[in-house]
Amino acid sequence: MPKFCANLTWLFGELPYMDRFRAAREAGFEGVEVLFPYDCPTQDMRDQLVLNGLSFVLMNCPLPNATGGPQGFAAVPGGEERFRRDFDRTLRFAQVLKPLHIHIMAGVAEGPEAEATFVRNLRWAAARAPRQGLTIEPINRIDMPGYFLADYETAARVLDAVASPNLALQFDAYHAHRITGDAAAAWGAHGHRARHVQVAGFPGRHEPAGGAIDYPAFFARLAADGYDGWISGEYAPATTTVDGLGWIR
């Protein structure tokens, strides 16, 4: 059976943040992810996870840029010191929240020097936290202009170059479809590298049902391929979150 988790940054937004944990559990989710869990008391979030019997699956690094600047510095030449400082800050939050994965964001950059920087920083991070699962995720440049990691071939080269057992691919079917035009084919080529999956409808980024991505077939493919990680709903509900949860049933 698939293991579904709820992205609480996107889902249950009609509720106060701390109430979303209980709502997710009551809706049938066994795990949650939060993109940037840095603004609320960390121990309060941990208490909600434990109280509701939820696994904490994923969080992003670095901390969000309050000035509206780019998210991520791991592939930005000259940003190594900032990346390492922010990664250590994320680890302090992770000590309490205990995420299964930390998604390391590449940031806005381009070219061979950016790729080399990304590889060096990921090697450093993987060695810095050898027991912590880490992921990298291709993100399409329509939604995030200039983002360095915007295709799966680059992700494969980077993962092979880093060659660390605690670093893997984060596969977002919505981004995969926008990048390649065929999420299922992208999974076929690169899914063996994935330890975390996110889903949303295409093109509207609403519930993963209908639209251009055949999600029943996609979930069946994941099962046939032996994928045993989490599948996270990371989408904007078309109405209320609960009304749109037919896809997990």
Exactly one of 33, 115, 207, 234 is catalytic; which is it?
234
Active site residue: 113, 137, 153, 207, which one?
137
Mention every residue, 6+ apart, whose C-beta is less than 8 A from residue 26.
none
| 153 labelled catalytic | no
b vs e for 19-41, b when ≥16 Cβ sit within 10 Å of the residue's Cβ? ebbebbbeeebbbbbbbebeeee
Measure the CA–CA gap between 48 and 33, rounded to whole angstroms.
13
Q: What are phi and psi of 3, to 5 degrees?
A: -105, 110
Judge contact between 28 and 2, C-beta under 8 A.
no
User: Is 110 among the catalytic positions?
Assistant: no
Decide: 74 and 45 in contact? Cβ < 8 Å.
no
Cβ-proximal residues to 97 (8 Å cutoff; 6+ apart), any chain: 37, 42, 45, 46, 49, 56, 59
Active-site residues: which are they? 137, 234
